[in-house]
Amino acid sequence: MVDIKTTAADLERISLAFNKKLKFMVDFESHEITVKVIDPETDKVIKILPPEELQRLHGKIKETLGFLFDERI
């Protein structure tokens, strides 16, 4: 089985060849992966994938569905 942390570290190293730095963050609770695209010269975040607003919306939808549907069937 491939370790997600090892794969993320490999992709971060490879991204430097494209003059961009990628930072992978794994939320093991929600099983979501977020990628930050970073300018290696300034160390500033260029983009976050998926956008934070989408992540918050996704969390709210999952929470609301949890209230509507009881998963203990």
- Give the count of domains, the chain: 1
Checking phi first, is residue 38 left (phi over 0); if not, alpha (psi -120 to 50) or beta? Answer: beta
Containing domain of residue 48, as a range? 4-68
Which 3 state secondary structure label does DSSP give 51?
coil
Per-residue pLDDT 10s for the chain (73 aa) are 457 677 777 777 777 777 788 888 888 887 788 888 888 889 999 988 887 776 777 778 777 777 766 655 5
41 within domain boundaries: yes
- Is 73 a domain residue? no
Residue pointed to by tokens 């569905």: 65
For 34, the 3-state DSSP assignment is strand
pLDDT of residue 3: 72
